[in-house]
A and B are shown apart, each in its own frame.
Chain A
Amino acid sequence: MITRSHDVVIVGGGLAGLRAAVGLCEKYDVALFSKVHPIRSHSIAAQGGINAALGNNPDSADDSWEKHAFDTIKGSDYLADQDAVEIMCREAPGIVYEMEHWGCPFSRFSDGSIAQRPFGGAGYPRTCYSADLTGHVLLNTLFEKAVSLGVKIYPEWHVTALAVDENACHGVAAFDLMNGELVSVDAKATLFATGGYGRVYFYSTNALINTGSGIGMAYKAGVPLKDMEFVQFHPTGLIGTNILMTEACRGEGGYLINSQGERFMQKYAPKAMELAPRDIVSRSIQTEINAGRCFEHPLGSYIRLDLMHLGEKKILEKLPGIRDICIDFIGIDPIREPIPIMPCQHYSMGGIDTDVTAATGVQGFFAAGECACVSVHGGNRLGGNSLLETIVFGKIAARSIDKYLSAVSVSPKKDMCVRTVEAVRAKIEHFLAGGKEKTFQLHGELARVMSKHVGIFRTLSGAEAALDEIEALRERYRNAGISSPSMHMNYELMNAIELEYMFDVALSIARGALLREESRGAHSRTDFPKRDDEKWLKHSIARISGDGHPDISLRDVTITRYKPMERTY
């Protein structure tokens, strides 16, 4: 068996992983593994912007990191840990300036400062952006920085399992997709920056690679997950392909219109209107659709996102990417026609349970970015805070890994990593034995179950049905088989390996949704429509039990200075 050793293994080549690598590579032997080339990571698709209280907009001269923190905490429906939010918001201006110094081409105001636009749930226009391609420019900038520093990258190496024993992490099992080799990689510290789990849902804005397998791998290895029931549904996904139509469409002044020609948000958030937080706007849209005040299309029922009144000049300047997507994917030019949209799964608030230093309960194992739950987003993430979180906590992860490696002398157990690889090999042999079940079919059914039963609105019976159906699918997965024994560039095999982890993610979401008897942020139980701070101002922590099912316990939320209040917009 091929084996490799590094000081630090980083899994994931998006913003969080690259930022951590940049912070560590000059001092340590760092290796970054990514199942696609890093520039293909899902960070590239982020559109609207990154929040920081720079006060560049004339309307936001008295903005401050404290106000950013307040908006974030209120947006989270008070489930975010306030110490973590404070750290993120305080670091935000420095992070944005650092990215600018490294070359990020932000849009500018007339005085040459970084431009900032209004975004949902924010009291001030504080979202820094580069047209509607902010993820694209940030990821390119960080990749360029990583190249300039000579970061060791393993592109198209799919990490397939985490090697943990006695509560310490020793490395990973990796799959070199180009050569078709399984490789044991031991490391003194391992960081997961593996992104979200959008593809567990049928309607999702996420890239096809966003399976959440990293979250599942950590869970399988005994690392707890946090707040998994909190799933963000973005109000405006294009019908059919479900490609994201950025919140900046509304930030720049776009309207949401139902089939009666109403700007219906006036019923749900009379002050903030279309710029209420995403959980509220998504529920409002779904309510309109459920009541039949929507338009019909062979691809599904929809609401109109109307940009026409913004005019050609503004659309071409501020939303060129959105216009291209509409033309390429649905044959509509938003300058002349409204965009047909529906709410779609978009973001994973929950994830691997970490503290404010990106550390987990397992020695030597860290997580950052969307796969992690610190928690800075609580029950609902504000637009513009995810790009921020990836870079802030990527940087913090680098610092705390440095601290960890400086403080203790670690010698990872190589044999443990080798055993982990052997277990993966056994799974692959099982798939090759020719089981009848096809993984694409099981995946499709899983995604439909999640969208149907654990979507925007949830009930006790829905969550129970989801758990039963996921269990039945998992049973069928035991008989899954693949067509080709060839190991290299075998995407069918990669999908088969990842699906196991997707079941774990799905179970933990459904289990959390079943237990949490309240409505908070993006978790909306129609049988418990109110927030219940007495019982549920708590994080849910899911640990794998002996039979593979999540055992859920509760943990207090950290409150510093922002007392929970009723959330109106």
Chain B
Amino acid sequence: MIRASAYTFKILRFDRKEPGDKARFQSYRVRIIPGLTILAVLNRIRDEIDGTLSFRSSCRSAVCGSCAMVINGRIDLACRTQAASFGTDTIILEPLPNMDIIKDLVVDMTRFWTMYEKVKPWLYRSGPDPEKEIGQTEDARALIDQFVHCILCACCYGACPVISRDPEYLGPAALAKLERFVLDSRDERPRSALNEVNSEHGVWGCDTALKCIEACPKNVRPTDAIIDLRKRLFIDKARQFLGIRK
């Protein structure tokens, strides 16, 4: 027999459409069985206790990136986090930081997507396409693997200390996406394309506090991307200085 235990969920409530609304925690008591995920509990709370609660969800299997939030102080996907994994019967849920709250656990991700678009996240090709595939070795492909794994959930964006003081900062996800293309053996973007990120709002803004790596549910290391992009810019500068062309 599986035994259910009682938990208290304290969930941050806020509605930006309600004039004068102040963010506050609301408590819900639920009995749950071990193994139940935070998302499954949220669905139960909305269905059975409080239909006014808002949160995003879709795949419930940690691949779509909808349900990132702060769970007992830790940023993660609600669908892959088990309620029983904290060693406490009180779970505190808050929306992702660094973005405005629309309602409860739903944040406005407009700026996150704007930053994503700014790095021109697509494969650049200069000539006509070959008849078949563009050849690529498995080793060359494996180089981009970790950045390909990004699910754009914005866990890193929420965790980044730079964004909290500089909203114009591109952020870890967008820069990791840029690195995914820069590292791709098939990509032919001109070297000058990196000028876009050669600023304090770009790669030089990162504090290398590594919070993004800690927050990523998919083991992506955005800081590695940022360091590599910095190296590339530095090497370009050095070449220009020494008059080396290529």
Answer whether A103 and B122 are a contact pair too, CB < 8 Å, given A112-B136, A484-B51: yes
Per-residue 0/1 for A96-110: is the Cβ within 8 Å of any B Cβ (1 yes, 0 no)? 110011110111111
- Contact A133–B149 (Cβ < 8 Å): yes
**In the docked arrangement, what's the CA distance between A483 and B47, Å?**
10
A-binding segment of B62-70, B155-163, B190-198: B62-70
B-binding segment of A163-171, A489-497, A540-548: A489-497
Contacts of A42 in B (CB 8 A): 58-59, 64
Per-residue 0/1 for A502-525: is the Cβ within 8 Å of any B Cβ (1 yes, 0 no)? 000000000000000000000000
Per-residue 0/1 for A293-335: is the Cβ within 8 Å of any B Cβ (1 yes, 0 no)? 0000010000000000000000000000100110011110000
B213, CB-defined interface residue at 8 Å: no
When the two chains form the complex, which single residue of B50, B133, B152, B186 contacts A483, counting CB atoms closer than 8 Å?
Answer: B50
Contacts of B237 in A (CB 8 A): none
Per-residue 0/1 for B41-57: is the Cβ within 8 Å of any A Cβ (1 yes, 0 no)? 00100111011101111
Residues of B within 8 A of A (CB): 1-2, 15, 17, 35, 37, 43, 46-48, 50-52, 54-66, 80, 102-104, 106, 108-109, 113, 116-117, 120-123, 125, 129-138, 141, 144, 148-149, 151-152, 181, 184, 186-187
Looking at the assembled complex, report how far the CB atom of B225 sits from the nearest CB atom of chain A, in whole angstroms. 16
The 10 residue pairs across chains A and B that have the minimum distance between CB atoms: A103-B123, A483-B51, A112-B135, A440-B47, A492-B51, A144-B122, A484-B52, A148-B122, A489-B54, A101-B129
18 interchain pairs, CB-CB under 8 A? A37-B109, A39-B65, A39-B151, A42-B59, A45-B61, A100-B134, A101-B134, A106-B133, A112-B135, A133-B148, A137-B148, A144-B122, A180-B17, A207-B59, A241-B60, A324-B62, A484-B51, A488-B17
- Contact A108–B129 (Cβ < 8 Å): no
A95, CB-defined interface residue at 8 Å: no
A473, CB-defined interface residue at 8 Å: no
A243, CB-defined interface residue at 8 Å: yes
Answer whether A44 and B59 are a contact pair too, CB < 8 Å, given A105-B144, A112-B136, A483-B51: yes
Answer whether A112 and B46 are a contact pair too, CB < 8 Å, given A40-B65, A45-B64, A482-B51: no
A240, CB-defined interface residue at 8 Å: yes
Contacts of A107 in B (CB 8 A): 138, 141
Known contacts A42-B59, A44-B151; 4 additional CB pairs below 8 A are A103-B123, A105-B184, A115-B138, A147-B121
**In the docked arrangement, what's the CA distance between A133 and B64, Å?**
12
Answer whether A108 and B66 are a contact pair too, CB < 8 Å, given A102-B122, A114-B133: no
Interface size on A, residues (CB 8 A): 64
**In the docked arrangement, what's the CA distance between A441 and B66, Å?**
24
Answer whether A45 and B59 are a contact pair too, CB < 8 Å, given A37-B109, A489-B54: yes
Contacts of A489 in B (CB 8 A): 54, 102-104, 106
- Contact A145–B133 (Cβ < 8 Å): no
**In the docked arrangement, what's the CA distance between A224 and B141, Å?**
45
When the two chains form the complex, which single residue of A100, A102, A110, A325 contacts B61, counting CB atoms closer than 8 Å?
Answer: A325
Most buried by B among A103, A111, A209, A484: A103
- Contact B61–A241 (Cβ < 8 Å): yes
Looking at the assembled complex, report how far the CB atom of B212 sits from the nearest CB atom of chain A, in whole angstroms. 19
Q: Which residue of A lies closest to B1 (CB)?
A: A298
A136, CB-defined interface residue at 8 Å: yes
**In the docked arrangement, what's the CA distance between A162 and B125, Å?**
40
Q: Which residue of B lies closest to A325 (CB)?
A: B61
Answer whether A144 and B123 are a contact pair too, CB < 8 Å, given A100-B133, A107-B141, A137-B148: yes
- Contact A491–B54 (Cβ < 8 Å): yes
Contacts of A482 in B (CB 8 A): 51
Contacts of B60 in A (CB 8 A): 207-208, 241, 243
Looking at the assembled complex, report how far the CB atom of A487 sits from the nearest CB atom of chain B, in whole angstroms. 9
Most buried by A among B61, B148, B181: B61
Contacts of B116 in A (CB 8 A): 147
Main secondary structure of the interface of A (DSSP, over half): loop
Contacts of A399 in B (CB 8 A): none
Looking at the assembled complex, report how far the CB atom of B176 sits from the nearest CB atom of chain A, in whole angstroms. 13
When the two chains form the complex, which single residue of B47, B64, B123, B144 contacts A102, counting CB atoms closer than 8 Å?
Answer: B123
Answer whether A329 and B122 are a contact pair too, CB < 8 Å, given A40-B66, A137-B148, A492-B46: no
Contacts of A136 in B (CB 8 A): 63, 151
- Contact B133–A113 (Cβ < 8 Å): yes
A486, CB-defined interface residue at 8 Å: yes
Q: Which residue of B lies closest to A113 (CB)?
A: B133
- Contact B106–A36 (Cβ < 8 Å): no
Contacts of B54 in A (CB 8 A): 489-491
**In the docked arrangement, what's the CA distance between A140 and B46, Å?**
31
A61, CB-defined interface residue at 8 Å: no
- Contact B48–A440 (Cβ < 8 Å): yes
Q: Which residue of A lies closest to B131 (CB)?
A: A97
- Contact A208–B136 (Cβ < 8 Å): no
Answer whether A36 and B137 are a contact pair too, CB < 8 Å, given A329-B80, A489-B106: no
Most buried by B among A101, A298, A438: A101
Q: Which residue of A lies closest to B55 (CB)?
A: A491
Contacts of A54 in B (CB 8 A): 132
- Contact A36–B123 (Cβ < 8 Å): no
Contacts of A321 in B (CB 8 A): 63
Per-residue 0/1 for A467-487: is the Cβ within 8 Å of any B Cβ (1 yes, 0 no)? 000000000000000111010
Contacts of B106 in A (CB 8 A): 489
Answer whether A45 and B63 are a contact pair too, CB < 8 Å, given A147-B121, A147-B122: yes
A433, CB-defined interface residue at 8 Å: no
Looking at the assembled complex, report how far the CB atom of A90 sits from the nearest CB atom of chain B, in whole angstroms. 16
Contacts of B138 in A (CB 8 A): 107-110, 115
A178, CB-defined interface residue at 8 Å: yes
**In the docked arrangement, what's the CA distance between A125 and B20, Å?**
62
Contacts of A440 in B (CB 8 A): 46-48
- Contact B129–A209 (Cβ < 8 Å): no
- Contact B109–A325 (Cβ < 8 Å): no
Cβ < 8 Å to B, chain A residues 130-161: 130, 133, 136-137, 140, 144-145, 147-148
**In the docked arrangement, what's the CA distance between A436 and B209, Å?**
52
Q: Which residue of A lies closest to B40 (CB)?
A: A241
Q: Which residue of B lies closest to A112 (CB)?
A: B135
**In the docked arrangement, what's the CA distance between A328 and B121, Å?**
29
